[in-house]
Amino acid sequence: MPTIIRIGKLRIAIYFNDHGPAHAHALGAGGEAKIALGVRGGKPRLLVNEGMKQADLAVALRVVDAQGSLLRRRWEEIHGEVLDPE
C-alpha cells in the first residue's frame, strides 16, 4: 500500500491489490475512509467511512479533491485505466 500523500497524521494511499472504481484510502486517527477519485470531471465522493472522525474526513476529501490529478495518475500506474462505473 503506497502512501501517496501525507498531511500531518493523515495518509492517503492506494492499495496494490484493489478494484475499481478508482479510489484512495484515507487513514488516520483510528479510522479509514475509501474515497472515489472523481473521474470524468466529477468531484471525489465518499464510498465508505470506517471510524474516521468528521473533521479528518473533511480534510481527506479536500486533499483528494486538490490532488485528484496526482491520485488518478498513480491509480493508473498501479492498476491501469481509471474506471468509474457512473
pLDDT tens digits, one per residue of 33-70: 999 998 777 889 999 999 999 999 999 999 999 999 99
3-state secondary structure of 73: helix
- 34-38, 57-61, 73-77, 82-86: range with lowest mean pLDDT: 82-86
Grid cell of 60 as nine digits = 481527506
Report field, pTM of the whole predicted structure over 0.85:
yes
Domain boundaries, the chain: 3-79
CA–CA separation, 23 and 36 (whole Å):
4
The Cα–Cα gap between 76 and 4 comes to 13
